[in-house]
Amino acid sequence: MTPTPPGGPPREPSGGGPGRWSDLDRPPLNATALRRALLRPGALWTGLDVVQVTGSTNTDLAERVRGGGPGGAEVPEGTVLVAEEQSAGRGRLDRQWSAPPRSGLFFSVLLRPGPDVPEDRWGWLPLLAGVATATALARAAGVDTALKWPNDLLVTVGGEERKTGGILAERAGDAVVVGIGLNVSLRAAELPVPGAGSLALAGAVSTDRDPLLRAVLRSIGNWYADWRAAAGDAAASGLMDAYAAGCATLGRTVRAELPGDRAVTGEAVAVDGDGRLVLACADGVREPVGAGDIVHLRPGG
């Protein structure tokens, strides 16, 4: 159940029931204006839909791919699906992601990097999305956004590191669906867990979701074009250096909770060419971590 925001419950339209304008601080996205700005000849983005509520944009877009588009046609690369509210948003390890309607950006994009990029390099896509999103938010919202390996977006609220967003990439046939969830205007009383944050609480100069979404999608398009032109080589495209520069995990002592109930503790010293986090352990062994949950054990330094 969503906590009642400060100042009482959301206002209702004159019709008496909740609607798209029930909270005037959170206007609906303008799908027509977004399409006009983003769907241009030569651009990555080829289609954009905004739905009022769905379980998960990742699930919906992946199902479109597996079932085919209208008439069974292939869903084109650059398709974007945005939801004003997700009732069953998912993060890594099937964690739930929920927020009040129109309080954030919840969207998925469809990418088809093959045949230009070998499949063993597709694991860089969620990291690419993180770099692109952080870059866009610094410019459009004026918020310094750090990256927690592999897929969390962090902001500073009251001197504390808080998670304001997450990224989930999933294979769907010969495509990859990349989903991004970003808390934009959540108030303190609405945060789902103590460690959560939002752009508003981090002092964003703007919480207008239309320009924020445009900025993030344009940034993803630019980074993806460079990465794809380099055949997915993260070093040659500049992606590896950009990720390392913005990664709050590097230089920290962390605990990696790995599949099979195994845990490894060490200093995060690098992200390797495959996008794995490299830990320097106390026994002198350097262990690359390709999948797992990372816990920051102390502030960076």
pLDDT in tens, 188-209: 999 988 899 999 999 999 999 9
pLDDT in the model for residue 18: 47
Q: What residue type is assigned to position 281 of the chain?
A: C
pLDDT in the model for residue 69: 65
pLDDT of residue 3 exceeding 60: no
For each of the domains in the chain, give its residue range(s) and CATH number, in order of start: 31-246 (3.30.930.10), 253-296 (2.30.30.100)
Predicted confidence band at 70 (pLDDT cuts at 50, 70, 90)? low
pLDDT in the model for residue 194: 85
Residue with the bigger pLDDT between 6 and 109: it is 109
Tokens representing 136 are 């866009």
Tokens representing 238 are 């500049």
Helix (H, G, I), strand (E, B) or coil at 228: helix
pLDDT of residue 95 exceeding 70: no
d(CA 223, CA 216): 11
pLDDT of residue 97 exceeding 70: no
pTM: 0.88
Mean pLDDT over 58-78 rounds to 86
d(CA 153, CA 145): 6
pLDDT of residue 301 exceeding 50: no
Burial class (CB in 10 A: 0-12, 13-18, 19+), 6: exposed
